[in-house]
Structure 1
Amino acid sequence: MRHILDLPVLVILLGISALAMFLPAAHAVVLRDHDIGRAFFYSGTILLVLSGMIGLATANHQPRNAARSHLMALAMAYLVLPLALALPFDQAIPDTSYVNAWFEMLSSFTTTGASLYDQPERLAPSLHLWRALVGWLGGFFILVMAMAVLAPLNLGGLEVVTGRTPGRGDRQSGIVTRVADPSERLTRFTVILLPAYAGLTVALWVLLLILGDDGMGALCRAMGTLSTSGISCDAGRAGGQAGVAGEAVMAVFFVFALSRRTLPGSFVTGRHDPLLRDPELRLAGVIVGVVMITLFLRHWLAAFQLADGTDLPGVGSAIWGSAFTALSYLTTTGYVSQEWSDVRLWSGLQSPGLILLGLAIVGGGVATTAGGVKLFRVYALFRHGERELEKLIHPNSVGGAGQSARRLRREGAYLAWIFFMLFAMSIAVGVGALALAGIDFENGLILTLAALTTTGQLAQTAGASPISYAGLSDAAKLILAGAMVLGRVEMLALLALVVPSGWRN
């Protein structure tokens, strides 16, 4: 086992991907769908042999800079693994292309959840299981890499917490960044996070089953919730056959995508403070509350003009539909409440796409499976703006709350603003590239934000009419694929690889 763990990260990930293929293969055999079972079994066997051969060839490889090597492995994983994950998917669907299979797997692995198959019945249950499993593994992968690789280098949003330059280790956590080997950190955080991540998934699956959801639908929704991929095996309600009760249970598990402190293994600042005082959770509560009230008033006033405003069941549906959908898009999961369509019919208004886009841009917590800009960056800018307004009123005032708060308002807000600018530039480049591919501005903006925030469901809900990924050209798919990888890895991490100072350090 020690020799296996010393192999390059990409080789280990390729072996894990090969082993994961045997699960849908066994599921297809149980359902007597032998063609799909053979596709997964043969692909898994070939990739397992291939990973073993590469492992033997690279067993004695020692990188000069282990931290940079693991950061490179994080970026390369999204370029290499989807190509391997698409092999059984391409073989199992005879009327699709390898580009479509690759796009589907990349979307799942980056937890974007954008699907080329608008009609879920086109895919066999084993293929839905594979999509959900790939999304679940992608969520766990970014969770481990955020803790073991990005956090010691002050990347992935942790630079706002520490206030230090991204790409360099934190002196105050020297035991983690200077002494511990990156491979040891990966092993350690995998051992810490896997029981919690898998246990929460199983717990949600069981709860949905108890509430009346079917087995496959409950499992896909449980995986899609914990990984924030939003993948499901049907196009129906978010809670499936469990209904609103299932949505209520799923909403509780959304909390794990709002703060890094809800999962074990967090070693960053503020871990000893009460959970209710966590700034990310409090900011998320405020945002969801404001959006819920805004959407409720918007729909209620429209329904009141239609003489339906006194319908108490409609009022309750509007409140819950707005709250669940807002929380789902804030965590970049993308599930839509079953009450959402009822609310729109009740009021006669279209979907508030701009609000959903804004929620996805804000995103979830730092070092979680969620995408977007991240709540802590927004919180840092809020505290900086609050302090600037205070200085306008009282120019000679002194900001208090301790050294951590001052660092957050200064260096943390500065780094958060840099990320916002990079994010805005990425949006401009993505929209421009899609315009060259023949997509109009509005649809290009929605598709770009859906990819950069890893919330692929925005294409169906944010516009006046749903946007079909299946109708896009191969050029547009390649552009969106690049945006998905950029949104998942983040621009600062890629800059840490490209900037020459990162090579020397």
Structure 2
Amino acid sequence: MMSGIPFSIYYQDNDIFVLLVTGTSTSLIGTLLWFLTRKTERSDIGKREGYLIVTLGWVVMSLFGAVPFVVHGAIPSYVDAFFEIMSGFTTTGASILDDIEALPHGLLFWRSISQWIGGMGIIVLSLAILPLLGIGGMQLFSAEVPGITKDKFHPRVKETAKRLWGIYVILTFAETILLMFGGLNLFDAINHSFTTMATGGFSTKNQSTAYFTSTYVQYVFIVFMFFAGMNFTLHYFALHLKFEPFKQNTEFKFYVLFLALATLVIMFIHRPHHTFHFEESFRQSLFHVVSLVTTTGYVSSDYENWAPFSRMFFFMLLFIGGCAGSTCGSIKIIRHYLMFKNGFLELKRLVHPRAIIPVRINNKAIAPDIISNVQAFFILYILIFVMSSIILSLAGLDFLSAIGASATCLGNVGPGIGTVGPVANFSHLPDLVKIILSFLMLVGRLELFTVLVIFSPSFWKK
């Protein structure tokens, strides 16, 4: 919270005292809780406690993270402030702010850095923190992102997490420098770098990235959104000049192919309806496809005013997601690929019932329990989407807004369709709806199972 104070001092804003008091208060409360529980035996913490700690940890971060906005008065409603910061930590990017530029710079920085923290948060929780609680970080991580366990590049999971964070920092720094070359000041450059690498989508401008009309700047955003949507182990290999894993990685090739095909589809459908020249049509199509697939949620124009098919196509992109082991939300490319390939092979199994035909990725057979996990994830994801859309409809939202809000919050994307489209926000929604959507953000960010297991009766049985 206090990290934004230097910007508050530089811009002579009125949020210095607020950030200082709330940051200090949070630290004191955390210290008190540590003092009261310092003698707790680590052996008392098992898997169930670990899941509960992870879920409640994100909730508590958001409960405290909302306080500076309320104390300052920038967001008077605590429900609104909680929604905004939950959107930050979960890297959703959905906002209730009607005038973002009216916020003081310190609070804007806190808003952006919340996404940067949340972007790598799930990986750190899986690889670094959970082993301390007696939970195998890589085992849980494999349940969330199948096929990733073989890509561990250090035998100790804590060292793996450190290397991932190192890559994260390097990419964030590189984007900041490149954006400054494009004319952005340090404040705007670092804030947008935070939210790009986190695939979060928060901006310091009311028009989002449409404010920056530079072609160069838009391509920088596209490149780093693409990087953020990649498996971070590939970045590690690239930094060590090892490019063979890129050729062997089925998911990465499918990721690139999908982005290319989706961009061509949008160009083909969109261009006859507008006067964009070829390069601009390509850039706008690529920008929005990469933004939505990687769940970043940046917008450079109102795609709801594009060709009628575009709205439906962009809505479908809310369910895709980037690569496993990235900072993206939603379902993830690898799960789609596994479901597609398993479905295709099931046809072969029907013809050859005695044949053993495993699903292979990167020339390695995928264990049946991983396939079952992915299938269960798909069913739960769609079920939660349908149920939440029905609940939002009962709360008064029209059909398009209900499905748009459910899909974008569950997928941690940001912009949806209807009254929560790319140039709108969530401020007009009732408080109850904002609480429901905040829960969907949390469920989506923690990959469903981590949160939902707490609500199963067996979780509470000895």
The bucket for the TM-score relative to the shorter chain is 0.7 to 0.9
Q: Report the counterpart of residue 166 of structure 1 in structure 2.
A: none
Per the alignment, residue 2 of structure 2 pairs with 22
Q: Does 1:245 align with 2:216?
A: yes
Output the CA distance in 2 between the equivalents of 1:73 and 1:298: 47
Q: Confirm or deny that 1:494 pairs with 2:457.
A: no
1:440 pairs with one of 392, 398, 412 = 398
Deviations 1:207-265 (A, max 9, x none): 11012122222111100111111111003363754722122222222223232423449
Q: Contact conserved, 2:250 with 2:362, CA < 8 A, in 1?
A: no
Find the counterpart in structure 2 of residue 37 from structure 1: 16
1:344 positional shift: 8.5
* Counterpart position of 1:321: 284
Counterpart of 2:84 in 1: which secondary structure?
A: helix
Q: How far apart are residue 489 of structure 1 and its match?
A: 1.2
Deviation at 1:152, TM superposition (A): 2.7
Letter in 1 for 2:118: G
Tell me if the contact between 2:146 and 2:324 (Cα under 8 Å) persists in the aligned partners: no
| Corresponding position of 1:480 | 437
Distance 2:304 2:386 in 1: 31
Alignment match, 2:199:
228
Aligned: 1:136 with 2:116: yes
Question: Mean alpha-carbon deviation: is it higher for 132-141 or for 256-265?
Answer: 256-265
SS at match of 1:335: coil
Paired amino acid for 2:23? G
Out of 60-69 and 475-484, give the one that drifted further: 60-69
Q: Does 1:74 align with 2:54?
A: yes
Paired positions, count: 450
Label 1:153 to 1:493 Cα distance change in 2 as closer, same or farther (>3 A). farther
Q: Give distance in 2, aligned partners of 1:23 and 1:115.
A: 22
Query: TM-score, structure 2 length as denominator?
Result: 0.86
Q: Where do 5+ consecutive residues of structure 2 fail to align? A: 131-135
Is the 8 Å Cα contact of residues 304 and 311 (structure 2) preserved in structure 1?
no
**3-state DSSP of counterpart to 1:364:** coil
Measured against aligned partners, the alpha-carbon deviations of 1:357-403 in whole angstroms (never above 9, x if no partner) come to: 22221111223211001111111112112323445677776647879
Matches within 5 A, 1:88-487: 88-93=68-73, 96-148=76-128, 149=130, 151-155=137-141, 157-158=143-144, 160-161=146-147, 185=157, 187-236=158-207, 238=209, 241=212, 243-253=214-224, 254-264=226-236, 274-303=245-274, 314-337=277-300, 340=301, 349=307, 352-391=310-349, 399=357, 407-408=365-366, 410-459=368-417, 463=421, 466-487=423-444
Taking the aligned partners of 1:375 and 1:328, their CA distance within structure 2 comes to: 14
Segment of structure 1 superposing worse, 318-327 or 385-394 = 385-394
SS of 1:353's equivalent in the other structure is: helix
Map of 1:17 onto structure 2:
none
> Do the aligned residues in 2 keep the contact of 1:399 with 1:406 (CA within 8 Å)?
no
In 1, the alpha carbon distance for the partners of 2:22 and 2:287 equals 39
Relative to 1, partners in 2 of residues 1:279 and 1:404: Cα closer, same or farther, differing over 3 Å?
A: closer
How many Å separate the matches in 1 of 2:352 and 2:387? 41
Amino acid in the other structure paired with 2:92: T
Separation in 2 of the partners of 1:74 and 1:314?
Answer: 49
Rounded Cα–Cα distance in structure 2 between residues aligned with 1:349 and 1:370: 27
Go from structure 1 to structure 2 and tell me whether the alpha carbon gap of 1:44 and 1:54 turns closer, same or farther (over 3 Å shift): same
The C-alpha deviation readout for 1:5-49, integer Å capped at 9, x for no partner, is xxxxxxxxxxxxxxxx2211232122222x310000011111111
- 1:57 counterpart = 2:36: yes
Give distance in 2, aligned partners of 1:469 and 1:502.
Answer: 34
Cα shift readout 1:38-94 (whole Å, capped 9, x = no counterpart): 000011111111111111111111242444433322211221111111111111225
Residue 190 and residue 409 in structure 1: after superposition, are their counterparts in 2 closer, same or farther (change >3 A)?
Answer: closer
- Please state how far the C-alpha of 1:500 moved relative to its aligned partner: 6.5
Secondary structure of the 1:294 match is: helix
Quote the Cα distance in structure 1 between the aligned partners of 2:395 and 2:334: 35
Q: Offset at 1:199?
A: 1.9
Structure-1 separation of matches of 2:414 and 2:434: 13
Higher deviation after alignment, 248-257 or 103-112: 248-257
Is 1:237–1:243's contact at 8 Å kept on the other side of the alignment? no
Deviations 1:79-126 (Å, cap 9, x if unpaired)?
A: 111111111111122562122111111111111111111322221222
Conservation of the 8 A alpha-carbon contact between 1:332 and 1:360: yes
Amino acid in structure 2 at the alignment position of 1:376: I
Aligned equivalents of 2:243, 2:143: Cα separation in 1:
19
CA deviation after TM superposition for structure 1 residue 471, in Å: 0.7
Distance of 1:280 and 1:462 partners within structure 2: 31
Q: Which residue of 2 aligns with 1:18?
A: none
Q: CA deviation at 1:127?
A: 1.8
CA distance in 1, matches of 2:457, 2:365: 27
Per-residue deviation, residues 149-195 of structure 1 (Å, max 9, x unmatched):
47533456546338xxxxxxx99x9x97xxx7xxxx4x544432332
C-alpha distance in 2, partners of 1:324/1:413? 32
Indicate conservation of the 8 Å contact 1:384/1:409, yes or no: no
- Partners of 2:210 and 2:48 lie apart in 1 by 42
Aligned equivalents of 2:119, 2:424: Cα separation in 1: 25
**2:234–2:245 Cα contact (<8 Å) kept:** no
**Cα contact 2:88–2:112 (8 A) shared by 1:** yes
